[in-house]
Amino acid sequence: MTTFDDSPAMRRPASPLLLAFTLVLVAINLRPALAGVAPVLAAIRESTGLSAAGAGGLTTLPVLCFGAIAPLGPILARRYSIERTILFSMLLLAFSIVLRIFFGLPGLFAGTFLAGASIGVVMVLLPSIIKRDFSESTGFITGLYTMALCLGAALAAGIAVPIQQLADGDWRAALGFWALPALIGALAWGAFGVHGGTATEQRRMKISGLLSSRLAWHVALFMGLQSALAYCVFGWLPTILIDRGFPPLRAGAVLSISIAAQLITALSGPWLGTLGKDQRLVIVLMMCLSGVGLMGCMYAPPGQIWLWAVLLGLGQGGSFSVGTMLVVLRSPNTQMVAALSGMTQLVGYIMAAAGPFIAGLLRDVTGNWNVAAGFFMIVTVAALLMGLGAGRRLHVKAQVDEMR
């Protein structure tokens, strides 16, 4: 059972353009806390004495928080409104980024946990804003949202080391830099995004039976499986290429090109998904691009690597953006969006955290990447099958009652 509130009561009209711009500012801040750590992880370990296991925990912790904290989003929104919950979460994100550059390892892990928790809440609730305030342009706004997520990740990964170098090798500068954009996002949301009434002025809704919906599970499992594949690529593609004989610099560049290609379909994928009678065809296209691109990166001749990296990026950017749009399209109302988003994020990021671990374990056990490649293809095919179920033009059916 999920409880939630939502109503247009006492809302202050906001410019759709300003609201969309503010949503993008918020979304850009939802990946740097994760993506900005890996490039300076070696410096963090050297400075703090963090073990290899601790380093793995540091990079996995935010992903687990994304999922574990997801059910908290609708509960907070019931009490404080969607908009105010997002504002509080963005302020907490800015604080957590500052926290993790102080107090040594305890501050680093505490700040990382709070960052993951605050991001998890925001990601659950933003699709509700899209459903409620952009119902006539869901595909375009979802595309902007997911493109901003990808852009934030790419920027964080790309500028972490240069910022560290400008700060005389201090990794704290690379992590702490992102407190400023988070604060700007919070202030912008406070100015243009907060337009809801108080919780007592809004209807309180109770949603039950979501876990018994087959369609809801199709959406959640599609997002989970494609996320697991994506995090396998983020975590292991450079290592796979290095094992093939690529220089480390070139291996990192291949991943960067793949991530950059995601921006194209992150924006255009949802638009493509609105052209047909449903989203099944675009899901098949994106998952095929993902699977073929990844196998090409693993086994194609080295001279073709850039082509396969681009195809991989196009597939993964589109599968994520279309999956995000499915949460909105499969929900009949704003209340259901928050509930389905919470369920999807809980399932999705637990699977996303497990995927790279399984791939690395298979590599260690077998001594090569061939069995792991089979695992990648199983995940891809399973995601495609779940996507065929999630892409049908249907609505999730669950009980929605007003609480007195």
Same domain, 177 and 221: no
Same domain, 195 and 216: no
Enter the pTM of the model: 0.81
Per-residue pLDDT of the chain (404 residues; tens, 9 = 90+): 444 444 443 344 457 888 889 999 999 999 888 878 877 887 888 888 888 678 777 877 888 888 888 888 888 888 888 889 999 999 999 999 999 999 889 999 999 999 999 999 999 889 888 888 887 888 888 889 988 988 888 888 778 888 888 988 898 999 999 999 999 999 999 887 665 433 333 455 566 667 889 999 999 999 999 999 998 888 788 888 888 998 877 887 888 889 889 989 998 998 898 888 899 999 999 999 999 999 999 999 999 999 999 999 999 999 999 999 999 899 888 778 888 888 888 888 888 888 888 888 898 889 899 999 999 999 999 999 999 999 999 988 865 555 54
Return d(Cα 328, Cα 129) in angstroms, integer. Answer: 10
Q: At 119, which CATH number?
A: 1.20.1250.20
Same domain, 177 and 253: no
**Which of 177, 204, 231 delimits the end of a domain?**
204
Return d(Cα 293, Cα 280) in angstroms, integer. Answer: 20
Return d(Cα 359, Cα 35) in angstroms, integer. Answer: 20
Same domain, 168 and 219: no
pLDDT at 207: 64
**Which of 156, 176, 204 delimits the end of a domain?**
204
Handedness of CA 307, 308, 311, 313 (dihedral sign): negative
Q: How many domains does the chain have?
A: 2
pLDDT at 12: 45
Same domain, 199 and 212: no
pLDDT at 282: 96
pLDDT at 402: 57
Return d(Cα 150, Cα 147) in angstroms, integer. Answer: 5
Answer whether 4's CB lies under 8 Å from 196's CB.
no
What distances in angstroms separate CA 359 from CA 33, 134, 377, one per listed residue? 24, 39, 12
Same domain, 235 and 156: no
Same domain, 200 and 222: no
Structure tokens at 101: 């550059």
Same domain, 198 and 263: no
Same domain, 63 and 139: yes
Same domain, 136 and 225: no
Return d(Cα 127, Cα 130) in angstroms, integer. Answer: 5
**Which of 169, 204, 239 delimits the end of a domain?**
204
pLDDT at 9: 38
Rg (alpha carbons) of the chain, rounded to whole number:
20
For residue 285, what are the domain limits?
Answer: 208-396+400-404
pLDDT at 78: 80
Neighbouring CB atoms inside 10 A of 380's CB total 23
**Who contacts 98 (Cβ-Cβ below 8 Å, separation ≥6)?**
111, 176, 179
